[in-house]
Amino acid sequence: MAGEHLLEIGCGAGQAAQLVLEGLGTRGRLVAIDRSATAIARTVARNTEAVESGRLTALVAELADLDVPGAAFDGAWALNVNVFWTSDPAVELAELKRVLRPKARLLLLWDAGPTGATKLAPVADHLSTAGFRAVASESGAQGTVIRARAPG
């Protein structure tokens, strides 16, 4: 993880960004996106030093409209992001394929709660259909994690 360039989708108030930045070291970079300007402001406030040093870029953005170069990220993750299960995420997954490096890791995570394993079951199929590889889903008392690798 140290030195990698990662993407967080739906960063909320920046708690996960703060934890991940600790593991990235001084050479690692994180781009955190959220469609909420309030969430981005909270992420920046929580991680001011990382923003000032250039290690964190926080953007108000939808995944489908992400404006970054192709193959920019070694990995990406999302925690409790609805777009992957509330509709067909083909546009979002196409964008992820574009911005992830070949064989990059993708983690989609949901807490235990109303978004249960039954509702999330189609997500793995969407990933496979979009060309992601090594798609694996695991659900338990803590929630659900879906792991995949970008094509390549």
Domains annotated on the chain, with CATH: 1-61 (3.40.50.150), 72-152 (3.40.50.150)
Query: pLDDT tens digits, residue range 53-112?
Result: 999 999 999 999 999 999 999 999 999 999 999 999 999 999 999 999 999 999 999 999
Q: Which helix (H) or strand (E) holds 25?
A: none
| 38 band by pLDDT with thresholds 50, 70 and 90 | very high
- Shortest CA distance to 36 belongs to which of 59, 65, 64, 7? 59
Over 90: is that where the pLDDT of 113 sits?
no
How many other β-carbons are positioned within 10 Å of the β-carbon of residue 95?
18
